[in-house]
Amino acid sequence: MAGHSGFTIATEGSITTPKGFRAGGVYCGIKKVQRYDLGAIVCDVPADAAGVFTTNVVVAAPLTVTKESLARSGQLQAVLVNSGNSNACTGEQGDRDARDMRAKFAEALGVPEHYVGVTSTGVIGVPMPMEKLYRGIPELRTKLSTEGGDDFCQAIMTTDLVQKSICVTLTVDGKTVSVAGAAKGSGMIHPNMATMLGFITTDAKLEPGCLQMLLSNATDVTFNMITVDGDTSTNDMVVAMASGLAGNAPLGPNHPDWEAFAAAFRHVAETLAKEIARDGEGATKLIEVNVVGASTDYDARAIAKTIVGSNLVKSAVYGSDANWGRIIAAAGRAGVPMNPNTVDIRLGDIPVLKGSAPVPFDEPAAKEYLDGNEVTIHVDLHGGAGRATAWGCDLTYDYVKINASYRT
């Protein structure tokens, strides 16, 4: 276990570490290759729940169904996920299929339908093979366990190369509280939610409304600050569930342990967001852009996201080219105010621009730094107290190869 301020990373933890949660995954035939494609997280009790969803005006049917479930009571007891088919742009049949998924899983678990959320990821515009799902759901129910976190992570992957999972623990009111997360995402990733699915579980007890506030605030500075390719998906969703079984007094902003719990929650979200960026389709490097000195945090976020999302910046990082001109040019087109005459830029610890004037630097040393698998770009605008961090990845030949044949 590694310690952080107020919380500890549980190296052996998973989405099922918080008390009351089980998970699992099975192969039911949606994917062309025999790899898990149906998974679920289930709670032993109705859990307080919160969600954030894609900002794309084209919204996949499962998200509409999950929003309906959340609106009923603000609680969920299960989330069913399939990969290989997004059930997006599938018309009225897609709506019926999403509701049937919810109904069949609720029936299998013996819980009310509105305690079940559903979501899907994969190819757009293809009808969901419901008979395969109907066969897979009973098998999945038998696979749910406290050891099923890895199987669930496998079941939600599409072009992902690695599983994305994190768990932290902390003490609240003398009780051990866990916060865990799992996510998928590799392509069609852009700020304001992306082709990513995120799931956060905790056994903490929270005051009414606090979980949604916490999730929305964390999303703004984590999941909404990543980009791979500038495309916002139809299926993006992050759902948080709190079982309340840890035995603590309800957490809220006035609780003495609130800040520590909020920091742990943000750490889970940030870790998952960075892992999605790191695993971008074809990516070889994680790019982090830190912007300080902006007029406001909003302006800093806009500039950081524009830099990390620039195809020219991403290509330069892939080629280990210290082309700072692309960085300042991206900052200038972010659509927010900045003084073009006071900008400092560093690549790692290497200054390349000072007061918007070039700084002589060691090109071989800069190339050696950019050859690494993590690249940090620091931008100081000297214009205020606003700051933000965004994450992305380099743009490679393999990204084009992967997406040129995604359906085949």
Say if residues 321 and 370 touch (Cβ distance below 8 Å): yes
The burial of 105, by beta-carbon neighbours within 10 Å (0-12 exposed, 13-18 middle, 19 or more buried), is given as: buried
Nearby residues of 276 by Cβ (< 8 Å), 6 or more positions away: 164, 183, 184, 185, 186, 189, 194, 196, 226, 228
Say if residues 98 and 87 touch (Cβ distance below 8 Å): yes
Kindly indicate the confidence band of residue 232, based on its pLDDT and cuts at 50, 70 and 90.
low
Report the distance separating Cα 344 and Cα 351, nearest Å. 8
Say if residues 144 and 26 touch (Cβ distance below 8 Å): no
Phi and psi for 161 in degrees, rounded to 5?
-100, -25
Report the distance separating Cα 155 and Cα 49, nearest Å. 22
Q: Which two tokens stand for residue 394?
A: 């380099």
Say yes or no to pLDDT of 231 above 50. Answer: no
Say if residues 197 and 87 touch (Cβ distance below 8 Å): no
364-406 pLDDT per residue, tens = 999 999 999 999 999 999 999 999 999 998 888 877 776 676 5
SS3 percent helix, strand, coil of the chain, rounded to 5, is 35, 30, 40
Say if residues 58 and 89 touch (Cβ distance below 8 Å): yes
Side chain identity, residue 380: D
pTM of this prediction exceeds 0.75: yes
Kindly indicate the confidence band of residue 294, based on its pLDDT and cuts at 50, 70 and 90.
very high
Rounded to 10 degrees, the C-alpha dihedral 368/320/274/28 comes to -120
pLDDT of residue 69: 97
Report the distance separating Cα 48 and Cα 22, nearest Å. 16
Nearby residues of 343 by Cβ (< 8 Å), 6 or more positions away: 328, 331, 353, 355, 356, 379, 380, 381, 382
Say if residues 238 and 51 touch (Cβ distance below 8 Å): yes
Nearby residues of 252 by Cβ (< 8 Å), 6 or more positions away: 206, 207, 210, 258
- Nearest of 103, 24, 102, 26 to residue 62 by alpha carbon: 102
pLDDT of residue 149: 96
Rounded to 10 degrees, the C-alpha dihedral 279/61/75/170 comes to 0
Mean pLDDT of 87-106: 94
210-221 and 258-278 are packed helices; what angle lies between their axes, rounded to 10 degrees? 40
% pLDDT > 90, the chain: 75
Side chain identity, residue 339: N
Kindly indicate the confidence band of residue 1, based on its pLDDT and cuts at 50, 70 and 90.
very low
CA pseudo-torsion sign 252, 254, 260, 262 = positive
Say if residues 294 and 384 touch (Cβ distance below 8 Å): yes
Positions annotated as catalytic residues are: 195
Say yes or no to pLDDT of 317 above 70. Answer: yes
Say if residues 185 and 194 touch (Cβ distance below 8 Å): yes
H or E stretch including 43? Answer: strand 38-53
Q: Which two tokens stand for residue 398?
A: 């393999």
Report the distance separating Cα 198 and Cα 288, nearest Å. 20
Side chain identity, residue 182: A
Say yes or no to pLDDT of 271 above 90. Answer: yes
Kindly indicate the confidence band of residue 276, based on its pLDDT and cuts at 50, 70 and 90.
confident
123-158 pLDDT per residue, tens = 888 999 999 999 999 999 999 999 999 999 999 987
According to DSSP, residue 157 is labeled -
168-195 pLDDT per residue, tens = 999 999 999 999 999 987 554 444 444 5
pLDDT of residue 189: 44
